[in-house]
Structure 1
Amino acid sequence: MRLSAGAPFRLGASWDGRGTNFALFSANAEKVELCLFDTQGRRELERITLPEKTEDVWHGYLNDISPGQLYGYRVHGPYEPERGHRFNAHKLLLDPYAKRLFGRLVWSDAHFAYRPGSPREDLSFDRRDNARGMPKAVVVDETFHLGRHDTRPRIPWEDTIIYEAHVKGLTQTHPDVPPHLRGSYSALSSQPMIDHFKRLGVTTIELLPIHGLVDDRTLVEKKLTNYWGYNTLSFFAAEHRYTQDHPLEAFRTTVARLHDAGIEVILDVVYNHTAEGNQLGPTLSFRGIDNASYYWLKPDNPRFYDDFTGCGSSVNLTHPRVLQMVMDSLRYWVETCHVDGFRFDLATTLARGPRGYDRNAGFFTAIRQDPVLASVKMIAEPWDLGMGGYQVGAFPSQWSEWNDRYRSAMRRYWGGEGSLTGEISRRMTGSSDLFNHDGRRPRASINHVTVHDGFTLADLYSYSVKHNKANGEDNRDGSNDNLSNNCGHEGPSPDPAVRALRLQLRKNQLACLMLAQGVPLLLAGDEVGNSQHGNNNAYCQDNEIGWVGWDGLGRPDDDLIEFVGRLTTLRMNFPQIRSTQWLDGRRADGSYGVLWLTPTADEMTQQDWAFPDGRFLAYVLSPAERGYAPLFVVLNSAPAAITFKFPKTPEWKVWRQVLNTTDDRPVIDPWPAGGEMIAPPRSVLAFAGSAA
């Protein structure tokens, strides 16, 4: 093969029809070798030193290297952990820009740059070759990306209803999905799933991580896996465990089919840490390429990592080349697969600088000015585990954020806690106390009661404590602060009264989620009573615990699909729920955006807001547009019925029931303005105003 200098731009392996350019960033390496492998990835055919280095990018061009070629790198440099350098050329390393992976990681001690068991720990040095057990990067033909034109649905933020799901877990046991498709990318866009999404009324699927990942050795030894996928090794490659075909093409096809159905796709992405862990972790890619550049190291002792993530290390986006990698990855998924946005795991870490979280971080600036990324949805998990990591409400105006304040308030309220009316009023109207600044809008708040991390909705009202024994950590893992309520019996109960109460509380939470301003997020399976048997940290359970259980279909106590569908329709029928503006109370001219009322339909005073142990909240949302009706909402979390009056205004003479979580039967006759009704115990009611 003919070797020439090639070019430093377009990092990774780039095939141009004649040959392939290889380019790898490493600021501190002394030499970089490209290793070519046979078609099975078992035998190293050739080792070629990249001939040039330009601005810390090592590069070379090889004629006659075509798509399908397997390769990896060996990077030479000092092994000086106490100075932050962990080069070990005996270890084959994965290209950070690999677009496709071949093979799986086969664990052995050879993957560690030091000798496990040595009394010197990571200060020792290991000379074993790990190539045989390493996945290899594959040269791909990227010209096929140009052949598909996919139009994204571009659903406005205010109309967005998110459905969080795992690729495999959502479909693995679904009875209507063809068995040969279950658990795959293709299953997501199968007709039974599209029909299901349509019945629910969700607009946007948020997928747990699909980037190339590896399973932690400790989990493999326990016969468990990193099921959720938060253990990324490759930020450009689609995980191949969800298909038997070419993973990127399978995923692209799935996105296109979902787009054809009018459904968006958002990816949960993990750029805050990698699968390499702390100083005792393996050397698989970034650590061996340039540890001191890719990771946050302790300034006073760079042998160790600054761990803001709880995963052993943190990726350092203040380094321009590391930031470039993240930006290149994001653009790749938008331009190649046409995804509609991203949810960033532990997003605070991505915006950290030497002094902590920085709202003006280079990461935010880069996204704001990027012409590709500026038009897609950006969602932050606005915290990490480091000092000052909790940053709910502190992200830039382009961003939306998971609002755990909504989650906690709603769990406390429907759990029976009193004196929360002020808190609940803010959460139901977009959490302006958190987000109304710097031009942000109500869509900044991603409202949720349950997500992948924690109890499912069914378990929230079936278990008072976690039951994580199956994770192999003696029930130590997972949160102890769940604000859950077993309704009088731990676990499944044959008692009809217990089951009825659990169903009622689930319906109340779903109703509030769809009535609240902001963007609702529904956890996959909550609509069919999916249970994880009390496990609130099923990250390693690639089995019936972690998969969505569809046995609740058609069962009155569990099947809430039609109920959710009615809620999403209700949300779409009342634009004031989906308002793009913050609500005002009573204005000087007598108009209002929201009117807070006592049970007697009087406007609330400060004394009313401070009512001890209050559990009743009622309010009217003014029509957002001419020709639409006002919406009167009543929340009663008390275990007793409460009598209330309907608002009496000159323009709205009667009120028609559009929601009652205690009774699904339709109500034909309206209530007159000023008339009385009883709010059943633990209920959510909603009424549309009418002039006649």
Structure 2
Amino acid sequence: MNLRRTAITALFGCALLGNPAWAAINASKLGASYDATKANVTFKVYSGRATRIELYLYSTATGTAEKSRVVMTAGAGGVWSATIPVTTLNNQGLSGTLYYGYRAWGPNWPYSTSWTKGSATGFITDVDANGNRFNPNKLLTDPYALELSHDPTTPTMTNGTIYASGATYRNIDTGSSAPKGIVLSGDTQSIGIKPTRALKDDVVYEVHVRGLTNNDTSIAAAYRGTYKGAGLKAAWLASLGVTAVEFLPLQETQNDTNDVDPNSNSGDNYWGYMTLNYFAPDRRYAYDKTPGGPTREFKEMVKAFHDQGIKVLVDVVYNHTGEGGAWSGTDKTTYNIYGMRGLDNPTYYSLTADKQNSWDNTGVGGNYNTRNLIAQNLIIDSLAYWRDKLGVDGYRFDLASVLGNTCEHGCFNFDKMDPGNALNRIVAELPPRPAAGGTGVDLIAEPWAIGGNSYQVGGFPSGWAEWNGAYRDTVRQAQNKLGSAVVTTGQMATRFAGSSDLYGDDGRKPWHSVNFVTAHDGFTLKDLYSCNVKNNLQAWPWGPSDGGEDNNNSWDQGGIATDQRKAARNGMALMMLSAGVPMIVGGDEALRTLNCNNNPYNLDSSANWLGWTRTTDQSNFQAFSKAMIAFRKAHPALRPANFYSSVDNNGNVMEQLRWFKPNGAVADAAYFNDSANHAIAWRIDGSEFGDSASAIYVAHNAWSAQVNFTLPWPGTGKSWYRVTDTCTWAEGANQVRTPGMEDAIGGEYTSYGVCGRGTLVLIAK
């Protein structure tokens, strides 16, 4: 009996029975590996359409011809294999690091015994009616390679056209230049003890692994911008209060050429959302770039974070790949061929109905074929590898709606109920962390893509948390668009309380909402409240960058610096006070700016790396951020497992949160739905959470002028004490009071004036 099939069927019921059985994780043992005795190396690769595959073995990564070539054997299920004794490899001059790649022939380019590298012998067409794009002149990387030797283009080989198909490029041989897989023999580097913290209790810090330390002079120069350097910041992030670091993509991407011309953008790929291989940690981010070094160093970094109790989450891109799409919209022949496209194009990529071009829901060339079983296997197998071998605790999935696609070619349709989509398969085979914490992975979706029914905030299946774009938009508009965007207090209340309208309707919980007001793509927190429009075409190192959202819901607060900082404090405070999981962007804790560039994907520059010097204002804001994170962590009432309601032993619903008008009356539907109202307060009963505060009171004034709030009952024998007021009069290093040092305010019916666009936080004691 297939145990995975049994578990999946139990999860989704009989609806699954029409789907093919899913094998165990990497059941075919795809990739390259030594046997237990290190006496043999076995290579396995999938292609259901190839008619011949040859394995090419190299003693160097570039600049030399192959030492050996082996015709692979086609086996069951489209798996091609070859096993080579190490003694044979040694005799062939392959006694050191073993580099490898594949050449493949198929229906559009059948094998001929007279073919030689760089020739057109056997060629019929670049793409046939079934979407095949075989080209034996292109050395192909193994989709299951555990490390790659280098990127397709490098500082010494900048001509990326050699990898293309089409009449101009198809006969160019790439063997001596192309990236090769590296056969790893294993290591003993520990990943430490994985944190088991519930997702609801996390504070997520999104950052680029290179950008985290490349400006940091406290780190040895050789380690800056590396996995090793990032690990050296683990203690600092723990002191800030961060419990989960979410790295922008770390899987191999084209970035070796970022340093070719370090004083211009040069088309650089800094963020890394063009994945070349789903298993290999990016070599550029390793201090130790020797074969096996990136893997060991990545695990060393993971251990450093785990030793501080910090989870490691990674941003993964399974909606498209670095092979990209057509070179032009009208040219169906010229495509890059690095790996998957040359092995089995219709399996790994979604195509148009005629299978001549890419189907594109990503805006960057074409969709990965997330509906195909083999392509899904690659997703599952690589996720499991990063979890089990590299120690990763969870994932953020870029443009994750593509993983909900229910068809392969000529269409796109998101359906969360379809048990055969990649989203449901991931949940079934890589179990999410339980609500109360424990073993499992944290699964976080960016719940949108481009076009069709891909905007799915609140529409993902069970097991998935989401970047809550509705939270971002509501908070931004409430703060920055007074008088031009309609935001009711009811909308604000819903977002602050965990977005039950999005997640409660399908059994999910507040912590399935990842609350954010900024992310890597878009304005920084400071710029959100300092810039009216984007400014992406400025000179290096701040630009130029193309693209970027035009509708940012941003505002420069009239150009008043104190109001800009106040607005940023509100954004930070509201995230820490809202039900759900707060996510802050690296540098936002200290008012990092990008001078209004809202799309710096290409800027591998000092301006885009985090800064580590602080002005007085930045130091004060960092102290505010740190204290608000600590306040959230100290009060479980702010981290509810459910939507602020419980049932007592008699079956009565006990409300744990109550909303108030500024005058102290309980807010009703009329108040919530009146767009003329801009102030709302809420009181959370801390007693049911075992909270040290019997009650927490928050008053948020989104109006431009001061509003007086009448305080509610703090509890018998209790008074209200001020934790923080985000208003300018209180600005300073101690704007958030340390526990025990809160300011006495008064009891029930006390009036408190909250400045325009200010937030007040009180506790009862």
* TM-score after normalising by structure 1: 0.91
Q: Is the counterpart of residue 308 in structure 1 residue 361 in structure 2?
A: yes
Among candidates 93, 96, 99, match of residue 70 of structure 1: 99
The answer to whether the Cα contact below 8 Å between 1:8 and 1:57 also exists between their aligned partners in 2 is no
**Partner in structure 2 of residue 425 of structure 1:** 493
Partners of 2:470 and 2:160 lie apart in 1 by: 43
**Partner in structure 2 of residue 151 of structure 1:** 193
**Partner in structure 2 of residue 253 of structure 1:** 300
Deviations 1:363-416 (A, max 9, x none): 233323326766110000011113100011111221100001100111111115
Partners of 2:286 and 2:275 lie apart in 1 by: 18
Among candidates 351, 366, 370, match of residue 425 of structure 2: 366
The answer to whether the Cα contact below 8 Å between 2:51 and 2:105 also exists between their aligned partners in 1 is yes
Among candidates 48, 58, 76, match of residue 80 of structure 2: 58
Counterparts of residues 74-473 of structure 1 (less than 5 Å): 74-79=103-108, 80=125, 81-83=127-129, 84-106=131-153, 107-116=159-168, 126-142=170-186, 144=187, 148=190, 150-190=192-232, 193-215=233-255, 223-245=266-288, 246-280=293-327, 281-299=335-353, 301-354=354-407, 356-359=413-416, 360=418, 361-370=420-429, 375-417=440-482, 419-469=487-537
Partner secondary structure for residue 277 of structure 2: strand
Partners of 2:538 and 2:670 lie apart in 1 by: 50
Partners of 1:349 and 1:379 lie apart in 2 by: 14
**Partner in structure 2 of residue 122 of structure 1:** none
Distance 1:475 1:239, change over 3 A: closer
Distance 1:676 1:436, change over 3 A: same
Among candidates 579, 590, 595, match of residue 640 of structure 2: 579
Tell me which amino acid in the other structure corresponds to 2:744.
Answer: D
The answer to whether the Cα contact below 8 Å between 2:432 and 2:463 also exists between their aligned partners in 1 is no
Post-superposition offset of 1:471: 9.0
Tell me which amino acid in the other structure corresponds to 2:597.
Answer: N
Partner secondary structure for residue 677 of structure 1: strand
Distance 1:620 1:671, change over 3 A: same
Partner secondary structure for residue 383 of structure 2: helix
Question: What 5-or-longer segments of structure 1 have no aligned partner?
Answer: 1-6, 117-124, 490-497
Q: Is the counterpart of residue 676 in structure 1 residue 751 in structure 2?
A: yes
Question: What 5-or-longer segments of structure 2 have no aligned partner?
Answer: 1-25, 90-94, 109-124, 154-158, 328-334, 434-439
**Partner in structure 1 of residue 567 of structure 2:** 505
Q: Is the counterpart of residue 10 in structure 1 residue 63 in structure 2?
A: no
Among candidates 469, 486, 490, match of residue 556 of structure 2: 486
Partners of 2:630 and 2:287 lie apart in 1 by: 38
* TM-score after normalising by structure 2: 0.82
Tell me which amino acid in the other structure corresponds to 1:285.
Answer: G
The answer to whether the Cα contact below 8 Å between 2:151 and 2:253 also exists between their aligned partners in 1 is no
**Partner in structure 1 of residue 9 of structure 2:** none
Partner secondary structure for residue 48 of structure 2: coil
Among candidates 619, 637, 657, match of residue 594 of structure 1: 657
Tell me which amino acid in the other structure corresponds to 1:263.
Answer: I
Deviations 1:310-346 (A, max 9, x none): 1111111222111111111000001111110000001
The answer to whether the Cα contact below 8 Å between 2:253 and 2:322 also exists between their aligned partners in 1 is yes
Distance 1:684 1:85, change over 3 A: same
The answer to whether the Cα contact below 8 Å between 1:104 and 1:133 also exists between their aligned partners in 2 is no
**Partner in structure 1 of residue 15 of structure 2:** none
Post-superposition offset of 1:648: 2.8
Paired residues in the alignment total 662
Post-superposition offset of 1:234: 0.6
How well do the aligned residues superpose, as a CA RMSD in angstroms? 2.5
Partner secondary structure for residue 508 of structure 2: coil
The answer to whether the Cα contact below 8 Å between 2:57 and 2:98 also exists between their aligned partners in 1 is yes
Partners of 1:627 and 1:486 lie apart in 2 by: 38
Partners of 1:53 and 1:421 lie apart in 2 by: 63
Among candidates 46, 70, 85, match of residue 25 of structure 1: 46
The answer to whether the Cα contact below 8 Å between 1:210 and 1:229 also exists between their aligned partners in 2 is yes
Partners of 1:48 and 1:656 lie apart in 2 by: 76
Distance 1:671 1:270, change over 3 A: same
Distance 1:425 1:104, change over 3 A: same
Partners of 1:659 and 1:141 lie apart in 2 by: 55
Q: Could you tell me the percent identity over the aligned residues?
A: 31
Tell me which amino acid in the other structure corresponds to 2:696.
Answer: L
Partners of 1:424 and 1:331 lie apart in 2 by: 38
The answer to whether the Cα contact below 8 Å between 2:204 and 2:584 also exists between their aligned partners in 1 is yes
**Partner in structure 1 of residue 68 of structure 2:** 46
Post-superposition offset of 1:673: 1.4
Post-superposition offset of 1:568: 1.3
Post-superposition offset of 1:684: 0.8
Deviations 1:66-100 (A, max 9, x none): 77201110001133424211100011111101111
Higher strand fraction: Structure 1 or Structure 2? 1
Partners of 1:216 and 1:255 lie apart in 2 by: 23
Distance 1:634 1:320, change over 3 A: same
Among candidates 563, 580, 585, match of residue 518 of structure 1: 580
Distance 1:219 1:391, change over 3 A: farther
The answer to whether the Cα contact below 8 Å between 2:149 and 2:181 also exists between their aligned partners in 1 is yes
Tell me which amino acid in the other structure corresponds to 1:451.
Answer: A
The answer to whether the Cα contact below 8 Å between 2:234 and 2:304 also exists between their aligned partners in 1 is no
Partners of 1:311 and 1:626 lie apart in 2 by: 49
Distance 1:316 1:652, change over 3 A: farther
Distance 1:627 1:547, change over 3 A: closer
Among candidates 662, 686, 695, match of residue 630 of structure 1: 695
**Partner in structure 1 of residue 760 of structure 2:** 685
Distance 1:530 1:305, change over 3 A: same
**Partner in structure 1 of residue 112 of structure 2:** none
The answer to whether the Cα contact below 8 Å between 2:210 and 2:225 also exists between their aligned partners in 1 is yes
Post-superposition offset of 1:8: 8.7
Post-superposition offset of 1:474: 8.0
Tell me which amino acid in the other structure corresponds to 1:240.
Answer: R
Partner secondary structure for residue 35 of structure 1: strand
Tell me which amino acid in the other structure corresponds to 2:238.
Answer: K
Partners of 1:38 and 1:356 lie apart in 2 by: 46
Of 598-607 and 338-347, deviating more is 598-607
The answer to whether the Cα contact below 8 Å between 1:471 and 1:540 also exists between their aligned partners in 2 is no
